[in-house]
Amino acid sequence: MNIKLLLCLPLLLWLGACSTLPPAPTVPGPSTTGARYTPVPVDSLPGWTAESHAASLQALQHSCRALARKPKDWGAWQAACLASANVDVQQPAGVRRYFEQYFNAWSVSDGSRVQGLITGYYEPLLNGSRVRTERTPWPVYGVPSDLYTFEPGPAERQRGEGIVRVVGANRLASVPGATQPASGQYRVRLADFVTDGKTTRLKGRLEGDRFVPYYTRAEIEQGRGVSSAPVLAWVEDPTELFFLQVQGSGRIQLEDGTLLRVGYADQNGYGYQSIGKTLVDSGEMTLADASMQGIQAWVRAHPDRRQALFNSNPSYVFFRVLGHAEGGPIGSLGVPLTDGYSIAVDPRYIPLGAPVFLETTWPLSSTPLRRLVHAQDTGGAIKGAVRADFFWGFGTEAGMYAGRMKQQGRLWLLLPKGMDPAASAGR
């Protein structure tokens, strides 16, 4: 993800709401979780004709640049993408006709459940320095050289173990047929790794002749492992640094006034554990107060308990410096995110690059928020067919909306005519 993994703020409650469309045939999803895709006419989407889709068209053109680099997908997308360049964004009716002409729409559900959680994320601004100072003692780490990734194949999964070797920077591969590690090889036991059952990649380090899990957040905060990690910058607030990891990207205002943009590079292999949920479960906070702003206020009021709270989330994100200066952060699709028109999704069910019509409400409100957005990012907390994280943009106001957003919503997947939604998901 960039924002990969893009690690977004997973919040705590599925709010009840309901909307319906006329029943239609369904197409089974690509996994056993019950994802379903129900075809509907594009012009029947709720509020379709009332919304302007000009900004959405521009976000689609960003997606098309990435899709053009994927020969496997480009054949299905080519006609729609090339036609998008000839649409006059100043003519709302023409933009709507374009989407109606080139796309089919599919209501996305998880079994019988059509409602899902819609959260928000943003690009924060931190104050920092290129060198450690008394004011800026908190490091923003790049990827440690001793962090390796291994993706077990069917043989390892069947046996529960295997033999691996280093095949590139930060990457391991299986040694087929081996049962004992030779020189330069390592034993891996899948049971040693804690996963959510959905993540296929294991993150770890080499210890003797074994590949073992990487350090937890608590261990990294104690200095384990990061001696081999470059420090990209030093920042002044540990709480803002924690939420930079949650958001997955951000900007750091350096002492000379320049902005350093950083984005997700890698992660230590542990699933995100919501610190908001930790506070609610322990009785420190009510569910209604468990917004990003509420959590930050609790941390400021309990500085002596801050690190223990942060350590309850074992996940730790490492960053890279982003070279581009304009536009939003780079999402998992490889294109800049568009404020208010990009979402993070679970790509097992929503293919990256696809338009998605979103029906939800504004944060802490019943006011409808209906918009044609685009699946351009992923996140460690974004799991499930009816689940999305809405990108609000950069800065304080965007952070206010993102931190308070935990709405129910519906998703409709739009794909070029002729594409099968079940076949296109999970690529």
C-alpha dihedral, 268 to 269 to 275 to 276, nearest 10°: 130
Q: Which fold has domain 148-213?
A: OB fold (Dihydrolipoamide Acetyltransferase, E2P) (2.40.50)
Distance CA 344, CA 264 (A): 14
Within the chain, which residues score under 50 in pLDDT? 1-32
The pLDDT assigned to 32 comes to 38
139/46 Cα distance (integer angstroms):
46
Residue 196: the pLDDT is 56
Q: Could you give the CA distance from residue 336 to residue 268 in angstroms, rounded to a whole number?
A: 25
User: Which distant-in-sequence residues (6+ apart) come within 8 Å of 260 by Cβ?
Assistant: 128, 232, 233, 251, 252, 254, 321
Is the overall model pTM greater than 0.85, yes or no?
A: no
Common-topology check for domains 27-119+332-391+406-424 and 122-144+220-321: no
Please give the structure tokens belonging to residue 218: 């608590």
Cross-strand pairs, 342:
374
The bridge status of strand 185-189 relative to strand 210-213 is parallel
What is the structure's pLDDT at 427?
Answer: 57
Classified by CATH at the fold level, domain 122-144+220-321 comes out as Ribosomal Protein L25; Chain P (2.40.240)
Q: Where exactly are the structural domains of the chain?
A: 27-119+332-391+406-424, 122-144+220-321, 148-213
Asked if CATH classification 2.40.40.10 holds for the domain at 27-119+332-391+406-424, the reply, yes or no, is yes
Give the pLDDT confidence of 206-236 residue by residue, as tens digits: 999 999 999 999 999 999 999 999 999 999 9
Amino acid at residue number 288? A
